[in-house]
Amino acid sequence: KAGVTQTPRYLIKTRGQQVTLSCSPISGHRSVSWYQQTPGQGLQFLFEYFSETQRNKGNFPGRFSGRQFSNSRSEMNVSTLELGDSALYLCASSPELDSGYTFGSGTRLTVV
């Protein structure tokens, strides 16, 4: 059974650009969550999608957005990149609430 797949693994962008990250959940998982991980703040919740609907959003500016497609794949977008957006972006999928979250290997974004 394939795990959670995130692409790309590494990305370097310039300040002011925008970026789109992709996440393919485990087959059959309909919930997809996104987290930002930095050395100083640890893992912080960005948003969660279920059946193409955003059910919850964390305390991040509107530059961070996401969506989920009918096949449960999800994308997150960050516009007008800032140096502070450099982080590991992790996606996690779950078949349903309370069933555990399986994380992908993440996309490491560096903003220069």
Partner 1 sequence: GQNIDQPTEMTATEGAIVQINCTYQTSGFNGLFWYQQHAGEAPTFLSYNVLDGLEEKGRFSSFLSRSKGYSYLLLKELQMKDSASYLCAGEEGAGSYQLTFGKGTKLSVIP
- Would you count residue 58 as binding partner 1 (CB under 8 A)? yes
- Would you count residue 53 as binding partner 1 (CB under 8 A)? no
Contacts of partner 1 in 12-41 (CB under 8 A): 31, 33, 35, 41
Which residue is it, tokens 């957006």?
A: 85
Of 17-25, 42-50, 62-70, 74-82, the window that binds partner 1 (rule: CB under 8 A) is 42-50
- Would you count residue 45 as binding partner 1 (CB under 8 A)? yes
Shortest distance (Å) from residue 16 CB to partner 1: 28
Question: Which residues of the chain form contacts with partner 1 (CB under 8 A)?
Answer: 4, 31, 33, 35, 41-45, 48, 50, 55-56, 58, 90, 97-98, 100-106
